[in-house]
Chain A
Amino acid sequence: AQTVTQSQPEMSVQEAETVTLSCTYDTSESDYYLFWYKQPPSRQMILVIRQEAYKQQNATENRFSVNFQKAAKSFSLKISDSQLGDAAMYFCAYRSALGGKLIFGQGTELSVKP
């Protein structure tokens, strides 16, 4: 069975600085997707970034980028130039390439200090 682990329950970053959120996963599948979701206080889940396992290139979306290490089964999220609006719960998630359910990590609560 696949598992996703986020070992940082809470993180803090100064506004305009960079922060990295960690995520590791376990799977025996070779083709899958990895995601980072943001859940602000409104609790609406927002997709931040998606990585396809067969792509070696790390995904990037504006200030958000990932460091995908397939052999190490690691998938960290880097937020550059942190903004107050980045404060939220961040969830790492795994999904088989065949579809089906998302498997979520425990979440990391990010606070941004002005």
Chain B
Amino acid sequence: GAVVSQHPSRVICKSGTSVKIECRSLDFQATTMFWYRQFPKKSLMLMATSNEGSKATYEQGVEKDKFLINHASLTLSTLTVTSAHPEDSSFYICSAGWREGHYEQYFGPGTRLTVT
């Protein structure tokens, strides 16, 4: 149990376009979802925390207008990178947890974004 999926696993987009990454909890209702960014051989950097039905809480230094996060249902959160630039190229990971599960976080497999 507690499976989290991400789609797509890899995406290449042109500079200036927007790209959406989906994070789904497949067998539980995720009251909270987290979005991370990871550079090669580096740790996970938390970008934002989203609770179902409310606005995401962004970490300091993360542009909320550039990285749009929506958590419209208990099983789906989306991260949209707007007007992507090459410096946005990275590995994006989501995790999900729920109150009754003591907020244990389960991680998706990640999405590799390349902006050309």
With A43-B110, A101-B34 in contact, is A109–B41 under 8 Å at CB?
yes
Interface of B is mostly: strand
Contact A99 B99 (CB under 8 A): yes
Contact A45 B107 (CB under 8 A): yes
Contact A44 B110 (CB under 8 A): yes
The complex places the Cα of A100 from the Cα of B51 at a distance, in Å, of 10
Q: How many residues of B contact A (CB 8 A)?
A: 20
Contact B43 A106 (CB under 8 A): yes
Which residues of the partner chain A approach B38 to less than 8 Å between Cβ atoms? 43
The complex places the Cα of A16 from the Cα of B23 at a distance, in Å, of 38
Interface residues of B (CB under 8 A from A): 32, 34, 38, 41-44, 46, 49, 91, 93, 95, 97, 99, 102-103, 105, 107, 109-110
Extra inter-chain contacts (5) besides given A106-B43, A107-B42, CB under 8 Å: A99-B32, A100-B49, A104-B43, A106-B42, A107-B41
**Can you name 30 A-B pairs with beta carbons within 8 Å?**
A42-B109, A43-B93, A43-B110, A44-B107, A44-B110, A45-B44, A45-B95, A45-B107, A89-B41, A91-B43, A91-B44, A95-B105, A99-B32, A99-B97, A99-B99, A99-B102, A99-B103, A100-B49, A100-B103, A101-B34, A101-B46, A101-B49, A102-B34, A102-B46, A102-B95, A104-B43, A106-B42, A106-B43, A107-B41, A107-B43
